[in-house]
Amino acid sequence: MLYSNAKKEALAIHERAVEKYNVLYEDFQRRGEQLYTMRKSSIAKIIEVEVLINSIANTPKEFGAKLVEMKAERTAFRQTEEYAAEAYKTAIKSGVGTVAGAGAGAAVASLAPTAAMWVATTFGTASTGTAISALSGAAATKAALAWLGGGALAAGGGGVAAGKAILALAGPIGWGIGAGATAISATVIGVKNKKISKQAIEEAKEITIAGAKLHEAEAIIAQIYDKTELLYTNVKEQLLQASSSRGADYQSLPSERKLLLGTLVNNTTSLAQLLNETV
């Protein structure tokens, strides 16, 4: 049959590309969730440090400044989570998730709210300057999709963007080539086989490129996670050592205890800053 072998080979290439992509996607998703979990644990530990330092009298002024910075970072992280939850609800309510195809809109419905959270805190939000809750109708949908990455995809934005991350979270939606072709003549069958072969190869290229971007993003997320985990471990150990200073007067503490508290505050501030580091 005309072009039947070419179609068969093209579909095999396409299938291999999808399989490889899905493996990369699983690694990417797992790493993103891992970072989000570590950040939530870090927030709890940061709050513990804040409580400890606030219980100590006559601490240096720089401690107070560091505490303000920690709180600001925690607040920014929480606001990103709230923005993500709002965008998710707005997109679902507007019916965006029912749109067919491989766009970000179709991917929204398959996302769990927690997935939206880790994507937002990992890739950041693209705020329109107006709260989504203040918008309605098409404007609200557009604003939600702008954050979810639909705009970035439509514009062909370069680099690893949140839109590509959302598309990745749903797997290769729409990337499926039908193998069947019913026709009344060999010529028509040949044309369809040729068209399917071309489409399969073109999509395989797109999937491979998307997979490379996923791999790149996963590597960056892994770096952020490693830095966060190291600081979290240090803060946890130092907090345990410094816990005996709770309620003390800083001025009466021995120099080694003051040094420990200073190191704890500095490391905790660095940990807080990592809460909002994005890909």
Confidence of residue 39 (pLDDT cuts 50, 70, 90): very high
Domain of 95, in residue numbers: 4-274
**What pLDDT is stored for residue 150 in this prediction?**
40
**Is the residue at 32 inside a domain?**
yes
**Is the residue at 68 inside a domain?**
yes
**What pLDDT is stored for residue 54 in this prediction?**
98
Q: What percent of the chain has pLDDT over 70?
A: 66
* Total domain count, the chain: 1
**Is the residue at 279 inside a domain?**
no
Q: Give pTM, 2 decimals.
A: 0.76
What is the chain's mean pLDDT, rounded?
Answer: 76
**Is the residue at 234 inside a domain?**
yes
Q: What is the mean pLDDT of residues 252-264?
A: 98
**Is the residue at 190 inside a domain?**
yes
| pLDDT over 50 (residue 149) | no
**pLDDT tens-digit series, residues 248-257:** 999 999 999 9
Helices (H), 56-149: 61-93, 104-108, 113-123, 137-148
**Is the residue at 41 inside a domain?**
yes
Contacts (Cβ under 8 Å, ≥6 apart) of 108? 88, 91, 92, 96, 97, 148, 166
